[in-house]
Amino acid sequence: MILLAILAAAAPADDPPWNCEDPGPQQEMNYCAHQDYLKADEALNAQWKITSAAMKQMDAEGSNLSWDKRPGYFDTLREAQRAWIKYRDAHCTSEGYIFRGGSMEPFMVATCKTAMTEARTKQLKDLVEVE
């Protein structure tokens, strides 16, 4: 029973009280960079819902194009998104290899994924918001 109390007291908190406004140690910078990526990914997923719904609507409106045997708007978008995810993940892993095995590798991967995800979110938005 005492051992359980000691282990519980020593267990790390689920959400450490780190300062992402001005991160200091590398572990804190890694954590904060990952949090930035999670926010970017959330925005991407929200935009995906909007863009994919628009593409499905475009498919429905163009259903009278029986002569056009090419894939529809949504199918093409989904294929592109799947390819983009594979590319982003592989590219950012490669970028992180600059510090392969070091404490800065996760930071490099997270910042790369954040930048690429934010750029992709804009691309998806631009598909449906023609100026």
* Contact between residue 19 and residue 28 where contact means Cβ atoms under 8 Å apart: yes
pLDDT band for position 4 (50/70/90)? low
| Measured distance CA(59)–CA(114) in Å, rounded | 31
Distance, CA of 65 to CA of 70 (rounded, Å)? 10
Q: Is the pLDDT of residue 1 over 70?
A: no
Residues 111-127: what's their mean pLDDT?
98
Of 112 and 9, the one with more pLDDT: 112
104-118 pLDDT tens trace: 999 999 999 999 999
Q: Which domains does the chain possess?
A: 25-57+72-131 (1.20.1270.180)
- 12-36 average pLDDT score: 82
pLDDT tens-digit profile of 33-81?
999 999 999 999 999 999 999 999 998 887 666 777 778 899 999 999 9
11 vs 115 pLDDT, higher one? 115
